[in-house]
Structure 1
């Protein structure tokens, strides 16, 4: 293979001095590679079905960053024998913060003008996280939070990649500086100078070991917790180290010639094929991330510059370089456009509108790069490190402060404080008392709480620690209702989050009835039975332990069972249920759902089974939560109502248990559809209360408004 000596480049500089005194120019193909990466990401976000793996463009950026930054730091270490960390960080700040803070500020303003009020707080929270460059950790936490499962992506969610990069820029030079310091100390004691080859070898050992540890963790964690693994920094460090190793091994050399060009094109094929054939179900960023990242290394190390067939020639064409120059801004601007455009016009879903939007993104990116980012990066007044740091702190504080003020100001304007939960016609009370309250369906009373506050109910638990996580070991429990010293018996609540949902009303009912309320619920875990082995899920093990606990506790007189109509299929229990001939006609899933009811009835417990509540917007607006719909349609709340037949999306085995156990002593069925639906219509707002906090869980305030109604429906189950 022939070798071609070409320069490594710092993104902000077009050239630097070679060791032999000649002028060393930046690698234009790197900009072309950036253009390819950002194009993949943009196409993926606008047309995810067409380029299902376009997210690998982010990994290409990570490898390039590791390559360029390590090359720069290594040259500085060789030339000066030290690393000026403050100057390095100041350069990174001048390169990255101006555009990112501009986009964050523009997004904070646009959010309160374009998005429904339900999205303001979530967007502000992530704007703050993005400004502080911890967005990836926030998303990692949200990815496993059951309460955030129905949340839509915010307009700054893409800043998670910038957070990972900034964390790399902070930690990487510290690691290399520490390595340099140890090496310098050893050579000083030996009385000899620090050699370039010795420094390269030491850096390679440290970088290689870190990369190996990160890759091993990435493979493990992607298999164990894929939702979190996608965002956390340790699973991504090895991608930076691939670029770093390439920089340290290559130095200023690249391999060209026929075979070098073949390998370069092979690298492009690896990147493009992963973009086309990967998808959201691909385990990532474990070992599958090797395809695009190793492909990136091949393009950086190998290629041809011959016109027409040289891969580096194609990547060095002026359009590719221009898009590469704008790639950072394009990445920042494109995602807010993706999020905002559907709220501006329904036409945004059309392909030709998307093309125009992308063209607009390119134009604003070119302008912001030329007239905002570049002048600030080159401003002489910011060259002193302390001034750069002070300007960065000021800019970050301004973005956070202005975003907070914008959201709080708009929320204050939209808050209706005239209505309270004590109003005699609030929520379900208006539904059940039309003679006094009049038409309860159209929300003449106003809205309280606001749609945004209703959404927050999913994050602010009324009863913390009263619901176990799906993978939590053992049985989580909490006691509510009457004080233990005054209580006469216990009511147990068994089920998933749709059982936890009823706790605000059941707490009131238990207190009024002088009973303790024992909550035994687990998120995303249907109240089913079945065989339990060592390999069974924590859900299945927990359910068995709960059933045994209830059966063997004489203080528990009444058991309330509730669950979602959305669940998996379950295997039938081996235990024979006393259902007679009707049991022979039931599928395994139904029998699994009915086993706990059968066992509890055999234990002489009073069993109250709540029917499944309607699932709103399943057919009509599946991407929009009901509070969001209300926020967008406050002038016509009926737009958010749903037909009852459209809300019955599954078999609803708990509702159908009424037919199976109708003649069983101790069995009580509690209907729930009529709490929100009348005349075939299920309502989004009743008596000024938004009925749902998402599309499948009733809001806390609406549930509490029906405490008296539930008490009446549970009377025979509680009092026997």
Structure 2
């Protein structure tokens, strides 16, 4: 690859970079221990997630130092050699852990999770896991996915993307000043400052508007690398803190960085402006360059230095063990689980560093750039070859399950799904049937989200409902507006199947957070709510507004819920217009133990053992019931809790149907079995002499 030379100005000669500066190794130790201990004991190191930001600053400093140092040599920066060194340093260990994680997924992870876990394994192998997780964070269908063994590769993906783009930016700056040697370092500084400012602004803005995605995407993290890179190109006289102030600067840096690890909480808007503390703290420690003085004995301790040396392996190994090692059994079901995982992580890291990291980085196996690139291609292909068959197998099983579920749900099969509890019956012909199959549960959404506004769309300043029509188009059909959030969307697969037969003309208007609430001044979805209310009160004449929404997870059942006030306020103009408001009481929320049971179930027998008590299932507040009581005439409540619970027992398998797709949403298959009972309950509540209620389309 073409080499571009960058000569450093004579007035700013650059000393060799010390890769093993003791304070940098100590920073690595603090960072990796923060992350590992946070994952093992979240209550002890609550801000341990900020350890990743420490690594980003260190990487920015060291890589920029190397690039500028090489640029000053006669041959300039050789991109091919630079990237080959990154391959030797990072890929062997990363891909070994990924192959082991994929094997562990096949061996010990329930088949229902294979597709998600193996997809993320492939994304991690190609260093795009951060974008995969960013997509999942904003995709409502994936937002509640459990963590995979490859999830922690998001930070490595960000780093690899930095290693690809950063030298190109620096070379661009040097190329533009190739005839003005004295301007080269100022140009590089200008580029770094521009990246820092632009990325920090993006981080603050995206964190405020789309916090889940902001955590993972590259452009909200680039400023952290730039902060470290800026230290590497400071003028010679400012490259380190003044000697007399260096110890105080170091203490301030350590206090800021460790304070972030110990005091931050997951509820903070991160990264955004909050990340300034760990980033600035790390930068101050590096800038101080003060291995002596207060804390020097701890920083230089051989154990601290060794942990910093093997920090990469520690980071890679700990998370797959946390995810895959079970929480049950005579030993692992006790307090010993986390200490054993920590010991296993340390042991694997020591072996990996000795037999994988060090040999590949310094040995001859990948000593040339062509060999390194060939290794990268082959190793990534190997990970894909291990993971893709599981993904393909999973997709095949999902399609088979979908076809079988559709056939049974549309065939009026007795005691299938909701009918089993509502009619207290069982169908022996369904023995050994479980639909959707466990592996297909998360994909069992039908057409629920075809008309769904995402979080980003429902937040927009000009947001308005997306209207999808279901059922009859006859002028005398019962006109129904289905309104709400994703729990209303979960009703669409069933209603779209029975609406035409029931003589219903349904306009579905569903969105993330799209409950029919009054538009408060501080409501980020006020534009959507106003447009929705305008359609229901001014633009269209509906007979019924069928509303539902997720239970309030932060309030216990029976507590006064302020959401009920906003519901009543929004319903008043609709009721005044003459539209009946029918609220459907929300389905249960699964407990963590019930969810774990469901995730681990791979057969009808195992899934049938997963259940909750009625008290657990309905432990959270449902403001709809209170709102109906206070709204008065014209509002009614449909409560189908008996479709989910028999007496005090609430099974997760109902009539041979897996009722729950995740912690709060029902499957499309269960929705199809519930819909006839929902239609009947609504019509029973609306009996007021209207001839069109319950009319058959074909009569």
TM value normalised by structure 1: 0.84
Other-structure match for 2:251: 265
Other-structure match for 1:389: 373
In the alignment, the residues of structure 2 paired with residue 526 and residue 295 of structure 1 have an alpha-carbon distance, to the nearest angstrom, of 43
Instruction: Report matched runs for 1:698-717 at 5 Å.
Output: 698-716=666-684, 717=686
In the alignment, the residues of structure 2 paired with residue 150 and residue 26 of structure 1 have an alpha-carbon distance, to the nearest angstrom, of 41
1:471 equivalent to 2:459? Answer yes
- Runs of at least 5 residues in structure 2 that lack an aligned partner in the other structure: 1-12, 694-699
Other-structure match for 1:695: 663
Instruction: Report matched runs for 1:91-170 at 5 Å.
Output: 91-170=85-164
In the alignment, the residues of structure 2 paired with residue 315 and residue 659 of structure 1 have an alpha-carbon distance, to the nearest angstrom, of 65
Deviation of 1:337 (Å): 1.3
1:448 equivalent to 2:438? Answer no
1:378 equivalent to 2:378? Answer no
1:31 equivalent to 2:25? Answer yes
Q: Secondary structure at the match of 1:55?
A: helix
Kindly provide the CA deviation profile for residues 519-577 of structure 1, in whole angstroms up to 9, marking residues without a partner as x: 12222233233xx47x45353443343333223456522321222222689xxxxxxxx
Other-structure match for 1:621: 593
Q: 2:418 aligns with which of 416, 428, 445?
A: 428
**Contact kept? 1:468, 1:521, Cα under 8 Å:** no
Deviation of 1:667 (Å): 4.8
In the alignment, the residues of structure 2 paired with residue 552 and residue 215 of structure 1 have an alpha-carbon distance, to the nearest angstrom, of 44
In the alignment, the residues of structure 2 paired with residue 381 and residue 204 of structure 1 have an alpha-carbon distance, to the nearest angstrom, of 37
In the alignment, the residues of structure 2 paired with residue 506 and residue 277 of structure 1 have an alpha-carbon distance, to the nearest angstrom, of 49
1:296 to 1:657, Cα distance in 2 relative to 1, 3 A: closer
**Contact kept? 1:107, 1:155, Cα under 8 Å:** yes
Deviation of 1:683 (Å): 1.8
1:467 to 1:202, Cα distance in 2 relative to 1, 3 A: closer
Other-structure match for 2:500: 511
Kindly provide the CA deviation profile for residues 66-112 of structure 1, in whole angstroms up to 9, marking residues without a partner as x: 11111111111111253211111111011101111111111111123
Other-structure match for 1:247: 232
In the alignment, the residues of structure 1 paired with residue 437 and residue 121 of structure 2 have an alpha-carbon distance, to the nearest angstrom, of 22
Other-structure match for 2:338: 354
**Contact kept? 2:448, 2:491, Cα under 8 Å:** no
Q: Secondary structure at the match of 2:531?
A: helix
Other-structure match for 1:275: 261
1:161 to 1:589, Cα distance in 2 relative to 1, 3 A: closer
Tell me the number of residue pairs that the alignment of Structure 1 and Structure 2 aligns: 663
1:679 to 1:548, Cα distance in 2 relative to 1, 3 A: same
Kindly provide the CA deviation profile for residues 321-356 of structure 1, in whole angstroms up to 9, marking residues without a partner as x: 221121101001111111122446485475543223
In the alignment, the residues of structure 2 paired with residue 280 and residue 67 of structure 1 have an alpha-carbon distance, to the nearest angstrom, of 27
Other-structure match for 2:62: 68
In the alignment, the residues of structure 2 paired with residue 112 and residue 56 of structure 1 have an alpha-carbon distance, to the nearest angstrom, of 32
Other-structure match for 1:233: 218
Kindly provide the CA deviation profile for residues 668-696 of structure 1, in whole angstroms up to 9, marking residues without a partner as x: 54221011222222221122210111122
Other-structure match for 1:13: none
Other-structure match for 2:299: 315
1:210 equivalent to 2:178? Answer no
Deviation of 1:638 (Å): 4.5
In the alignment, the residues of structure 1 paired with residue 45 and residue 463 of structure 2 have an alpha-carbon distance, to the nearest angstrom, of 43
Q: Secondary structure at the match of 2:510?
A: strand
**Contact kept? 2:568, 2:630, Cα under 8 Å:** no
Deviation of 1:407 (Å): 4.8
- Runs of at least 5 residues in structure 1 that lack an aligned partner in the other structure: 1-18, 188-193, 570-584
1:90 equivalent to 2:84? Answer yes
Deviation of 1:276 (Å): 1.1
Other-structure match for 2:586: 612
In the alignment, the residues of structure 2 paired with residue 477 and residue 638 of structure 1 have an alpha-carbon distance, to the nearest angstrom, of 38
